[in-house]
Structure 1
């Protein structure tokens, strides 16, 4: 739903409600005209306030969008660089750990063979 459609619907409903309330109350003609004039002035002020707040919101969203367009790509590039750096720094440790794991597996196999040989009398 578009904001303009929503605001038009809100304004129409508010005006209809104000008119219904004004005509359903027992007042003299001059009191009714004063009430209508007062309600009209209040509604104009409220609509002006709503219009101002919607304009501020649109400006804030526009500013946020511009900031995101500048900030997000730079952040993504920084994260990619950090990951690549981490991978380069951990590569020697990875190779060393793979060598140690292979040595441990070899030692375990030799230990199993030794134990199997000792169990055969």
Structure 2
């Protein structure tokens, strides 16, 4: 195939495609340009709105991070203090229960020894 025949076919196809597009387009050229311009300005507005919202989100995250850095250590200290206070308040009960358990174990050992003596 010769290059000149190829380029003639390419040019004819391009002209046919251009004519087809011009006749099948629902809008005139000026209407299409106006539509594209309006869509472009709408997109610019939407992008600006998204940018503002992203900036607000970044600021909110920064504020939340700052508050968390200040609040969490205070809360942890409060919880530690509460646990220490609870341990101190239950210490006497724990000691009393340990003594009672030791007494019960001693009583069981005595019963076992008495039972073993009676079995002999």
The normalised TM-score by structure 1 is: 0.75
Using CA pairs under 8 Å that are at least 6 residues apart, name the structure with larger relative contact order, 1 or 2: 1
Length, aligned pairs only: 97
Q: CA RMSD in A?
A: 1.6
State the distance in 2 between where 1:28 and 1:112 align.
Answer: 109
Tell me what 1:5 maps to.
Answer: none
State the distance in 2 between where 1:62 and 1:113 align.
Answer: 72
Give 1:28 shift. Answer: 2.3
Structure 1 stretches lacking a partner, 5+ long: 1-22
Tell me what 1:86 maps to.
Answer: 86
Tell me what 1:36 maps to.
Answer: 36
Give 1:63 shift. Answer: 1.1
Give 1:75 shift. Answer: 0.2
Structure 2 stretches lacking a partner, 5+ long: 1-20
State the distance in 2 between where 1:59 and 1:51 align.
Answer: 12
Moved over 4 A (4+): none
**Which has the greater radius of gyration?**
2
Q: How does 1:57-96 map to 2 (within 5 A)?
A: 57-96=57-96
State the distance in 1 between where 2:84 and 2:102 align.
Answer: 26
